[in-house]
Amino acid sequence: MPATALSNLVFDHRFIRKLPGDPVQENYRRQVRNCCYSRVSPTPVSAPTIIGWSAEMAATLGLAPEAEAHNETVQILSGSAVPECLAPFAMRYGGHQFGNWAGQLGDGRAIILGETISPQSGRWVLQLKGAGPTPYSRTADGLAVLRSSVREFLCSEAMFHLGVPTTRALSLVTTGESVLRDMFYDGNPEMEPGAVVCRVSPSFTRFGNFQIHATMQEYDLLASLVDYTITTDFPELGPPSPEVREEWFRQVCIRTADLMTHWMRTGFVHGVMNTDNMSILGLTIDYGPYGWLEDFDTNWTPNTTDASGRRYCYGRQPSIALWNLLQLANSLTSLFDDSKPLQNGLDEYTRHFNQQCLKMMKSKIGLQESESERSQQLAEALPELLQSASADMTLFYRKLADLSLVPDKSETSLPPCNDSTLDQFAEVLYDPKNLNSDTQSQILAWIRDYQAELQRCGVIDSSRKLSMNAVNPRFVLRNYLAQMAIDRAEQGDPSLIAKLLDVLRHPYEDQPENEQYGQKRPEWARDKAGCSMLSCSS
């Protein structure tokens, strides 16, 4: 029977049972050594209210529909109640931030409530984000504001429905309290409504969990954490051994490569690919200043902090992932007799990503079954054309699928590709009047070559449209949509949060009744705060 309350779930708290914790019980900011976590309780709030709820995630955990309305649910998910079945703690980790070692970081505003075991779906870790300070909060208050919490809640679930590996979100709770934040880092902080998100994942272990032990020369603890991770999160590999550790690292590299392929497929830009934001399971984790490509630009980053260097821009994400894996490998060297097993894993990342990325790019244009060099050339040439044309990535691929190129009925001649063909793409361009003649000619030549390759491969319009629309979403969580939901929620109306969640449950369907949520970024949102680039302030 589904549980009607969170406290009815089965918890086993394996992480804190199997790994050493901080012997200091007091919750104050400090450098923590020789442990994997610190026990800490969330901070109660005055007037918690659930304004966002993922019915899918609740069902996965084994919660009944009525659990959302249970008084205990909002108390626990706001941090205001901690039943005996829970064992809250904050994880200790370090990390490289923007390419530089930042030392101890840890869960500064995230508190894990515990680990629950579902007979149907396995192990899930419940974590509150924005529930108060921990020993790892440094100079911060451990809280979160509504705007960042709305974005995290919606994006976690949107990514899941897109088929992108991700941590999940169960709930979004407003606290009834205000939080002081300097959104623009300009010395003018303001009070904002506070909120707490309950994040859910099989594991929240990051690259940085291993890095901190290696940096502090806690090698026995590093070995224990690696073997715990293998046993708990990669049980299919078998009992830990030198050979299994090698295969484990290889699997981490493969999962990371798969994640990058999905990000590139959907046009997602994480914005803060620090090593402490890299999941050991290859999941998207920590939704801060993220965004989706709109006017296609491989150099675009949604992060104002990264605006000058663009380290974490769309086009660099695969290479940054490899760099982060290299830092993880460096932290694991004490577990191997030589570096070859680790280098093998890094080489596997490159091989696997290149293979999967090419396969993905061909699938986006409906030529996934073709092994021809021409199909590869077409797939690889298109992004540069999109950038030259300032085309909306999401809308372009859907429009391309609609184009009549090889009709279902056999005909001696194909539909002509001319200026009228280009006119069909005008609505997906951000500056159609600025499209110069050279770019127009290049796009038209590409479409003609594409049409010829489709005919050569025997790919007709109806099958091509089905396959393309299965990998090219119609709806993504555009920043301006998220900001509209935030603006309304801050005025006391959270209805757009639920509406967007509902639309994003079916991102590959056309949904004519929800067409307004699938439009390219409006002009008013080009430079509006929160609608394009964002800060890390939360």
Positions marked active-site: 276
Burial class (CB in 10 A: 0-12, 13-18, 19+), 412: exposed
d(CA 167, CA 278) in angstroms, rounded, equals 11
Give residues with Cβ within 8 angstroms of 275, minimum separation 6.
95, 96, 206, 207, 208, 211, 324, 327, 328
SS3 state at 408: coil
Strand-pair partners of 21: 37
d(CA 31, CA 473) in angstroms, rounded, equals 45
Q: Which residue has the tokens 């159609």?
A: 432
Across 424-456, b (16+ Cβ under 10 Å) vs e yields: ebeebbbeeeebeeebeebbeebbbebbbbbee
* Maximum C-alpha span of the chain: 80
d(CA 95, CA 101) in angstroms, rounded, equals 6
d(CA 419, CA 262) in angstroms, rounded, equals 33
Q: Which residue has the tokens 């372009």?
A: 396
Going 66 to 68 to 74 to 75, the CA torsion angle's sign is positive
d(CA 475, CA 519) in angstroms, rounded, equals 9
Going 69 to 70 to 73 to 75, the CA torsion angle's sign is positive
| 274 C-beta neighbours (distance < 10 Å), count | 24
Chain-centroid distance of CA 422 in Å reads: 34
Residue type, 170: L
Q: Do residues 39 and 20 lie in contact, with contact meaning Cβ atoms separated by under 8 Å? A: no
Give residues with Cβ within 8 angstroms of 327, minimum separation 6.
96, 207, 211, 275
Residue type, 531: C
Residue type, 35: C
